[in-house]
Amino acid sequence: MSDPLLRVSDLRTYFHDAGTIARAVDGVSFDVARGETVAVVGESGSGKSVTALSILRLIRNPGRIEPSSSILFEGREMLGLGETEMRGIRGNRIAMIFQEPMSALNPVLTVGEQIAEVVRVHTDASRHDAWERAVEMLALTGMSDPRERATAYPHQLSGGMRQRVMIAMALVLRPALLIADEPTTALDVTIQAQILELLEKLQEQLGMAVLLITHDLGVVAEVADRVVVMYGGEVVERATVAELFAAPQHPYTEGLMNAMPRLDQKTERLTTIPGIVPPSTSWPNGCRFRDRCSYAWEKCKMEHPPLYVIAGNHESRCHLAIEPDRRESSHEPIAARVQVHA
């Protein structure tokens, strides 16, 4: 394989506060190739958004990316770059769209101005040229009447249109990588599908890679090429979409799949994963998922599992990979018992 567009290796982002250390991202590695879509999946608190912000180096105090980490983008080590060089990359080579299209747009500037500003920050385009590019980009996102819409303020637009504006803002300079942090979570289901379709279409047109942060496996199945499942600040499973859905290896991935409503099975209630993600200030020893896992045994308490290679590019951070027989003896997870007593 040729050099990937983005290579994140052993990324550790810790938040130091009053003597405690929150290890929000704790040794995450993955690659994104040019033009491909990689989904990062996990529930709240698994570290996926911090991973995204770390790539853009937008972590604020007291957060810190530990020196052992490495983020190679287009062959350059991003963690060694100065703030000015980083600013040249943000919005230009790597762009980001946020979950909440309302709060991610400035209420006192017209949407056209906000898109044009990206152009003006990174190029020496004139005010007029920047505006023209903003209008063009809005048209590309399928906005009807883009010239008129560009003069609207965010509150005058619907949620779906605002997300289109966010996308226009992110893509106006044709970045090589788009980081989309839950881009459809705040939208109606019908709009969700439109926005995903639009993202796919633009990805093809502009030839960019997409790093999609989501907790929605439905979205993953629809648009991603490869999937990185995160839990407890770590990668717990890595696979292509087809492999992941055909044969999930990690019990956490399995749990996420079971928690999805399905059309081909009649279920009264959705299955849930008992318990919550433990606080990042005190990850458990051994496997971080063990209290919520229905296969956990002594080894999971003693030994922190490495990423076992299952086959080819499929990896799983679970001891089941070398002791598959244990799958036969499932039991009620500890977290479920605690819940009953509480």
Query: Which residues of this chain interact with another protein, rule CB under 8 A?
Result: 56, 58, 61, 86-92, 95-96, 98, 100, 103-109, 117-118, 121-122, 166, 169-170
Name the residue with tokens 């911090």.
50
Q: Which is nearer to another protein, 93 or 238 (CB)?
A: 93
Q: Residue 33 corresponds to which tokens in the numbers above? A: 């190739």
Query: Is the sign of the CA dihedral 277, 256, 247, 325 positive or negative?
Result: positive
CB of 10 to another protein, least distance (A): 24
Nearer to another protein by C-beta: 68 or 103? 103
Work out how close the CB of 90 gets to another protein at its nearest, in angstroms, rounded to a whole number: 4
User: How is residue 90 annotated by DSSP?
Assistant: B
Q: What residues contact 186, with CB distance under 8 A and at least 6 apart?
A: 99, 100, 101, 102, 159
Minimum CB–partner distance for residue 206 and another protein (Å): 16
- In whole angstroms, how far apart are CA 331 and each of 34, 287, 290, 292, 327? 43, 17, 12, 11, 10
Q: Which residue in 61, 59, 67 sits closest to 90, CA to CA?
A: 59
Query: What is the nearest approach in angstroms of another protein to the Cβ of residue 179?
Result: 8
Distance from C-alpha of 43 to C-alpha of 211, rounded to nearest angstrom: 16
CA angle 184-185-191, nearest 5°?
45
What is the distance between the alpha carbons of residues 102 and 163, in angstroms, rounded to a whole number?
8
Q: Which is nearer to another protein, 49 or 294 (CB)?
A: 49
**C-beta of 83 vs 268, nearer to another protein:** 83
Which lies closer to another protein via its Cβ, residue 28 or residue 96? 96
Q: What is the largest CA-CA distance in the chain?
A: 68
- Residue 60 Cβ vs another protein, minimum distance, rounded to whole Å: 9
CB of 193 to another protein, least distance (A): 24
Pick the closer one to another protein by CB: 98 or 131. 98
Q: How far is the CB of 103 from another protein (least distance, A)?
A: 4
- The least distance separating another protein from the CB of residue 58, rounded to whole angstroms, comes to 6
CA separation for the pair 35, 204 (Å, rounded): 8
Query: Side by side, which strands form the sheet with 94-97?
Result: 94-97, 177-181, 209-214, 37-41, 226-231, 234-240, 314-316, 308-311
Minimum CB distance to another protein smaller for 94 or for 335: 94
